[in-house]
Amino acid sequence: MFPDLVCVRTPLVNFHVLKDDAGLVLLDAGFIGGRHYLREALRERGWEDELIRGILVTHGHLDHVLNVASLAQEAGAWVAAPRLDRERYLDKERSRGWSRVAGVLEAIGRPLLRFRSFTPDRWIDDGDEIDLWGGLRAVHLPGHTAGHTGYYCESRRLLFCGDLFASFRGWSHLPPSILNQDSAGIRESVYKALSLDLGGVVPNHADGAEPEEHLRRLQSLAARLRPD
């Protein structure tokens, strides 16, 4: 992908590590087993002695934030996360509609998996600039959650798009309705993402294809979503 980017692949969800002169920043922090897979990925790349200086969150679902508090504490790292998912980090979210199904599952999973609530050091809003990895811009892509946010690197024409869609060969799709706060809103977020000058996208639920291929899949999915 890029020499200063590592994809931490796990059975349920991927997350990513960015490297610049100041150290490492995690994009999300993984789910069950995420800490183990992170250690292995860093060791394989030769980054095991690098400082983790921050964690940048895409949204507040448990499979993305389970390990945030513990990793931040161990590394002395800052945490930056979308403001509109605040209640999720504090374990106070009350889901509505179809997303109640996911809410029930998360309510069971949080104590079972020993989720630790956290308050970010920095709140992220749409359009915020983040001074790392050559410059990232927050792009609010709501629907999956209220605060769901992607991070766009203009210099590389690359969008880390979180759970905007799942990208697998022959099976690319929007997140299931039971996982979304507003499924209709995701369609608009897809079009918003594609309005950027993109050379590639990096989803969290995806196979090992290159960002250019994930972008082609997203474009194909968007074409299917548009009314005739």
CA 158 – CA 135 distance, rounded (Å): 11
Which pTM value belongs to this model? 0.94
CATH code (residue 196): 3.60.15.10
Contact criterion met (CB below 8 Å) for 162 and 149:
yes
Its domain, for residue 36, covers: 5-225
Domain total of the chain? 1
| pLDDT, tens only, 68-126 | 999 999 999 999 999 999 999 987 766 665 566 677 778 778 888 999 999 999 999 99
Return the residue matching tokens 């960015």: 18
| pLDDT, tens only, 19-30 | 999 899 999 999
